[in-house]
Every structure is written in C-alpha cells, then in structure tokens.
Amino acid sequence: MSQRPFILAAEGVNKSFAGFQAIRDLNFYMDPGELRTVIGPNGAGKTTFLDLITGRAKPDTGTIRFGADHELTGLNEYEIYRLGIGRKFQTPTVYADHTVFENLVMSLEGSRGVWASLFAKIHNTQRDRIQEILETIHLGDKAQWKAGALAHGQKQWLEIGMLLAQNAQLLLVDEPAAGMTDEETHRTGELLLSLAGKHSIIVIEHDMVFIRQIAAGRRVTVLHQGSVLCEGPVDQVQNNEKVIEVYLGRKHAHP
C-alpha cells in the first residue's frame, strides 16, 4: 500500500501534565497545502497540540512526522523551527521599536540573528522577497512604520509575514481573530486563504463566522479531551450530534 505524502502525521500521541491527560491517543493527518481549522471547547488540548508539534512540549508517547523525512518528537524547538514550521501565538510578538521592514529582515531565513541581520547588507533578492511579503500582508505602504504603531490586526499580519520571511512551510496559527474587528477578521481570512496551497496551515479558532469563511469546502477537526471527536466538512461538523453535545455539554450536566 502506498503511503499518502502527509505534510503532518501525528499518531498515537499522548501527553499528561502532572497526571492530567491533555492529549489522549491523538491521530491527526494533514495533506500538503491544506488549510485545516481545528476547533474544540476550552481545555480540549488545541494549544497543547501545537506545543507538541513545535517541540515546546514533548509527547509521552506517539510520533509526529513532518513530511516524509522528519520525526519531530526527537528534535528541539530550534531544530523544528529550522525545518520550516512557524507558529503565531495569540499575542503578537513583533519588535515594537523596529520598523515593519526591519521586523521582516530579522525573520529572513538564514539571517544571522536578530541584531546582526539589521546591520548586514540586504541583497536585492531579499529586498524583493520582503516587498512581496509586504504586499501579501497588506502592509506595502507601512514598511517604514514602527511595528509598535500598527493596529492590532496589522501586527498580527506582520507576524504572519514574519513566518513567511522565515520560509515556514507549515504555519500554526492560534486564534488569529481574537481581539480583531470584523473587518480585520475578514481580511485575515482572505490572507490565510491566499496562503493555502503554497503553505500548509493549521488554524485554531472559535469565531464561527471566521471559521465558515476559511473552512468552506475544507476539512475541520474537532478536538475534545485531547482526541479527535469529529473531522469533516464544516457543515457536517456543525451539525454533528457529538459536537453539539460537547459544546452544549455543561447545559445538560447542570440543567
């Protein structure tokens, strides 16, 4: 039997914190270029799953394969980052006192560390690449702005741009719509959709309008108590009885 060329394949993954099992026999497969939305109630293990992919936490058991050649569970955070896995946290982590342009320069693949890269000569190809990223993230006219002066949504786009500069193949994006206006949320959806295909993307979200925008015609995964509860097209998932029960569970438990 030929194996499908998954970009990410997590199998039999378990992770406990002081006796609490946050991830339970998790199996998760993703195709190259896929944009996958992961939903699930608070505490379902969504962020922990990203921690396990990026090496921030180590699974107790199981394997996480990246592409055909890499088993991630034995690598440290930096090695995983260098393989092309980029993560965007909920709170933007841009260098506020540096310009948008400089933030992107500092993230360029192969850059020699944050400070050295600021003083190094930038090649024309790098300049072109940054210009292309600036257009992609809708900050073409803000290249010389201090990152700290950007609106919340723009900071989040810059951070996505930094993942692109890093040349990440797999983008992990945790609750991007949090704190955004409806307009910013919609533009973020458009940005992620424009990156799908060229990149593989996992988006963790709660905002149902946003999820319907980015997940239309795509697979959605529902995590619950550290396992995949349900996976499928967004309409199917939204109408799945187990999913409805999990989201309304408290109501049934405490009438």
Q: Which residues bind ligand ADP (CB under 6 A)?
A: 17, 22, 40, 42-48
> Which residue from 77, 83, 78, 97 is spatially nearest to 8, judged by alpha carbons?
83
User: Cβ closer to ligand ADP: 33 or 43?
Assistant: 43
User: Cβ closer to Mg ion: 47 or 107?
Assistant: 47
> Which residue from 227, 115, 85 is spatially nearest to 106, judged by alpha carbons?
115
CB neighbourhood size of 35 (10 A): 21
In the list 23, 29, 47, 57, the residue contacting Mg ion (rule: CB under 5 A) is: 47
Is position 37 an interface residue for Mg ion (rule: CB under 5 A)? no
Is 59 in a helix, a strand, or coil? coil
Partner whose binding site includes residue 43, from Mg ion, ligand ADP, none (CB under 5 to 8 Å by kind): ligand ADP
Is position 238 an interface residue for Mg ion (rule: CB under 5 A)? no
Closest residue to Mg ion using C-beta atoms: 47
User: Cβ closer to Mg ion: 6 or 28?
Assistant: 28
> Which residue from 109, 141, 142 is spatially nearest to 126, judged by alpha carbons?
109
User: Cβ closer to Mg ion: 139 or 204?
Assistant: 204
Query: Which residues have a Cβ under 8 Å from the Cβ of 132 and sit 6 or more positions away?
Result: none
Is position 48 an interface residue for Mg ion (rule: CB under 5 A)? no
Return d(Cα 87, Cα 81) in angstroms, integer.
9
Contacting positions for Mg ion (CB under 5 A): 46-47
